[in-house]
A and B are shown apart, each in its own frame.
Chain A
Amino acid sequence: MMRLKAGMRHTVTLKVNGRTLTGQAESRTLLSDFLRHELKLFGTHVGCEHGVCGACTVLVDGSAVRSCVQYAVECDGAEIRTVEGLAQAGLLSELQQAFNRHHALQCGFCTAGILMSATHFLADNPDPSEAAVRDMLSGHICRCTGYYPIVAAIMEAARAARGEKK
């Protein structure tokens, strides 16, 4: 059993985007704050901070989850993927390129979270219906795009991953 006292700082180790990173967190430190303030990974955005808007979504052990309603200490030892891990060798992922082509972002605040959700979703659903994509997107709030270009970009990225034409 692990017991971490209130008001003290504890060592937390995460594997983030393939790299083992360590920082200090109080037991109450949100995963989103730990990523941003401690690990200096500012790509994960914080919106509502109560699990509603989806901006802070990251992958924890492969699953898209809100990083603002879990604690860094809770995730100790977990494998985390953030938006910083999507581009490889300076090249945007297929999904990110599709977002770019379709103007699936304007202000970009919600984008990091949506990209992470879509990354998990497409891994589980390589050939999704548009309705299923919209259902997945219901967990995100975007105030700029009206969602249409986001749906189009995700559908196109799915086709590309299946080797079909864009």
Chain B
Amino acid sequence: MKPVAFEYCRPDSIAEAVALLEEFGPDASVLSGGMSLGPMLNMRLVRPAALIDVKRVHGMDSVTAQGAEVRTGATLRQAAAMRDAGLMQSVPLLALALPHVGHFQTRNRGTLGGSVAHADPSSEIPLALATLGGAVELVSKRGTRRVAAREFFVDVLTTARASDELLTALLWPARRANAGHAFDEICQRHGDFAVVAIAAEAVIDANGALAHLALGLGGVESRPTLANTAAFLGRPADAKLAREIAAAAADAADPMSDLKATAEYRRALVRESGAAVLAAAFANAGKH
């Protein structure tokens, strides 16, 4: 339960971090909070030649509003995000998701960017980012690029990040006018990995009809997925519609089976909890 010997590198700037990634490429692991990487290092599931600790990179934990987006630096700690009232107000889905992330003791150290870069299929922050249509910012010696969250997550613990790239920030669309949000997850014990996590953003028009909907599913497939809900727009946003949409999402999903749950059980959770989450998002819409 001890990691392999590695070179410990602590860059002070993004330029230094990127130079190290250029030097070590796939032989380096980037350390942010270490709440997922730490256990994997201890169990020697990862054996990096170098650990690049970006925790002290200047300014990489800042929160800034940029037009219709909120930019959260990659090393912003989960606990710090929860204490940032302005951020929680501009990105309500993130506010609903964060209390489900690990525990008090891990949120004190774990970061938003680390969770997204790690890309566990059951993790809440990637799910919230994908549901809202957010993006990540990646920096390498070759330049800076922006990748939509829905393309960034490729597979279990696999992202579109190249080995010489550093994830420097998450870009969150600021709250849509009158949008309602809801988040819930089912796990064996509070704080455990979600068996299924469900996130929703809904906008209802003046006639009570569904005008916009994003329904994200975590822990179901190998990455966060978005249900196809286009066919339901324009219908009265009520409990019946919530049940119909959740049932369609459950039927369309291709859930995994593992030690925690069978595919069929996951499908049932999407159907039942999905309906409840959608109904809650409908109820929250237009109330602000």
Question: Chain A interface (Cβ within 8 Å of chain B)?
Answer: 1-7, 26-28, 30, 33, 49-52, 54, 57, 60, 63-66, 68-71, 73-74, 117, 120-121, 135-136, 138-140
| A66 neighbours in B (Cβ, 8 Å) | 35, 38, 105-106, 109
3 smallest A-B Cβ distances: which pairs? A69-B38, A139-B103, A27-B8
- In the complex with contacts A6-B6, A57-B105, A138-B49 CB distance below 8 A: no
Asked if B7 CB lies within 8 Å of chain A CBs, one says: yes
| B41 neighbours in A (Cβ, 8 Å) | 28
Asked if B34 CB lies within 8 Å of chain A CBs, one says: yes
List the B residue with the shortest CB-CB distance to A46. Answer: B1
Asked if B43 CB lies within 8 Å of chain A CBs, one says: yes
Question: Chain B interface (Cβ within 8 Å of chain A)?
Answer: 1-12, 16, 31, 34-35, 38-39, 41-43, 49, 51, 53, 55, 79, 99, 102-106, 108-109, 189-191
| B1 neighbours in A (Cβ, 8 Å) | 49-50
| CB-based contact B104/A136 at 8 Å | yes
List the B residue with the shortest CB-CB distance to A4. Answer: B8
| B8 neighbours in A (Cβ, 8 Å) | 2-4, 27-28, 71, 73-74
List the B residue with the shortest CB-CB distance to A54. Answer: B105
| B4 neighbours in A (Cβ, 8 Å) | 28
| CB-based contact A50/B38 at 8 Å | yes
| B43 neighbours in A (Cβ, 8 Å) | 50
Name the distance in Å between A142's Cβ and chain B's nearest Cβ. 13
| CB-based contact B106/A6 at 8 Å | no
| B42 neighbours in A (Cβ, 8 Å) | 30, 49-50, 68-69
| CB-based contact B109/A70 at 8 Å | yes
Given A6-B49, A139-B104; 18 other pairs, CB 8 A cutoff:
A1-B9, A1-B10, A1-B12, A1-B16, A4-B8, A6-B5, A27-B51, A28-B5, A50-B39, A69-B34, A74-B8, A74-B31, A120-B108, A135-B104, A135-B190, A138-B104, A138-B190, A139-B191
Q: Which one, B6, B11, B108, contacts A64 given CB within 8 A?
A: B108
| CB-based contact A6/B104 at 8 Å | no
Per DSSP, are chain B's interface residues mostly helix, strand or loop, or mixed?
loop
Pull 20 A–B residue pairs with CB atoms less than 8 Å apart, ordered by A. Answer: A1-B16, A2-B9, A2-B10, A3-B8, A6-B49, A7-B5, A27-B5, A28-B2, A49-B1, A50-B39, A65-B109, A66-B38, A69-B39, A70-B34, A74-B34, A135-B99, A135-B104, A138-B103, A138-B191, A140-B105
| B105 neighbours in A (Cβ, 8 Å) | 54, 57, 64-66, 117, 139-140
| B9 neighbours in A (Cβ, 8 Å) | 1-4
- Max count, chain A CB within 10 A of own CB: residue among B7, B108, B191: B108
In the bound assembly, the distance between CA atoms of A1 and B105 in angstroms comes to 28
In the bound assembly, the distance between CA atoms of A121 and B103 in angstroms comes to 12
| CB-based contact A63/B31 at 8 Å | no
- In the complex with contacts A26-B5, A69-B38, A117-B104 CB distance below 8 A: yes
- Max count, chain B CB within 10 A of own CB: residue among A33, A73, A139: A139
| CB-based contact A70/B38 at 8 Å | yes
Name the distance in Å between B59's Cβ and chain A's nearest Cβ. 16
| CB-based contact A5/B7 at 8 Å | yes
In the bound assembly, the distance between CA atoms of A64 and B4 in angstroms comes to 26
Name the distance in Å between A4's Cβ and chain B's nearest Cβ. 4
List the A residue with the shortest CB-CB distance to B9. Answer: A3
| A28 neighbours in B (Cβ, 8 Å) | 2-6, 8, 41
| CB-based contact B108/A63 at 8 Å | yes
List the B residue with the shortest CB-CB distance to A26. Answer: B5
In the bound assembly, the distance between CA atoms of A135 and B11 in angstroms comes to 35
| CB-based contact A138/B6 at 8 Å | no
- In the complex with contacts A4-B8, A139-B103, A63-B191 CB distance below 8 A: no
In the bound assembly, the distance between CA atoms of A2 and B35 in angstroms comes to 22
- Max count, chain B CB within 10 A of own CB: residue among A6, A69, A117: A69
| A3 neighbours in B (Cβ, 8 Å) | 7-10
